[in-house]
Structure 1
Amino acid sequence: MKISTLRNDRKPKLMIIPMIDIIFFLLVFFMMSTLYMVEQHTIPLNLPQASAQTVQTEESISITVLPSGNVLFNNEEELTLPMLKKRTQLALHNNKESAFVLHSDKQAEYGKVVAILDELKLAGVTKIAIATDRKER
């Protein structure tokens, strides 16, 4: 004869959905917090604006023209125009498919930008892009 008890013999259930929510919250928290841990070295530039904009995905070499007219290669070394040509040829020797992105401030002299473009062409560069900001409509 079976004796009935008031106890329920159901096994406890593990609620997985709230645990997944907490894990995703922690993941987002740590991703966002690591963004502020990385020190970013940037040069303040006022780029010209353009309506059409393309995104460059491959590794590129940055050439920056500051408002003072100084030229930076990969945001590190300051170069003159003849040195820029030699440095560009060295970069092309290491990787023939290198793409160069020209960052020029709005206040930089137009003649300086044209001279840099000429030096890049003389050095044998075939992939040149000019960086711009998206124009607000």
Structure 2
Amino acid sequence: MLSPMIDMIFLLLVFFIVSTMYMSEVKTIPIRLPIAKHSENVSKSNFNVTIKKDGSLYLDENKIEMDMLVQNAAIESKHDSSFSVIIRAEDEAPYKTIIQLMDKMKGAGVTRFGLATDTGESK
């Protein structure tokens, strides 16, 4: 009688492991990132900002204005000492927009940034 119960517990465990893996997936706008062969993987970030080649900004999957994005980041950085921003700029995104965003965030008190790249390896 114990064997079926162990089987059920094992199946529940597998279900929770698989469902947790899907919940941790980062959902962002699909873009073509610049390639860097010596980049590092960062597993955790509070803000994933995407800059498309037309200069539009997205916070995760939602389009947002730069001033609102900076305000949200300033509020979050005050509450969390390990707050960080990952900037995912499309390979043809205007450099000026990236620098403006980083400058405004730095002025708002955000000090931890990362720039997302692609390794160029096929998936």
- Same fold (TM > 0.5): yes
- Pick closer, same or farther for the CA change 1:42–1:100 going to 2, 3 Å: closer
- Pick closer, same or farther for the CA change 1:77–1:94 going to 2, 3 Å: farther
Larger Cα-atom Rg: 1
Q: 2:103 is matched by which residue type in structure 1?
A: D
Give the match for residue 90 of structure 1.
75
Task: Count how many residue pairs are aligned between Structure 1 and Structure 2.
Answer: 104
Shift of 1:92: 0.8
- Pick closer, same or farther for the CA change 1:99–1:42 going to 2, 3 Å: closer
Report the TM-score when normalising by structure 1. Answer: 0.64
Asked whether the 8 Å contact 2:66–2:101 carries over to 1, the reply is: yes
SS at match of 2:107: helix
SS at match of 1:113: helix
Gaps of 5+ in 2: 1-6
Shift of 1:67: 2.1
Shift of 1:43: 1.7
1:117 to 69, 79, 102: 102
Matches within 5 A, 1:1-137: 41-73=27-59, 75-135=60-120
Q: 1:94 is matched by which residue type in structure 2?
A: H
Segments of 4+ moved more than 3 angstroms: 38-42
Identical counterparts, % of pairs: 23
Gaps of 5+ in 1: 1-22
Q: Decide which structure has greater helix share.
A: 2
Shift of 1:79: 2.1
Report the TM-score when normalising by structure 2. Answer: 0.70
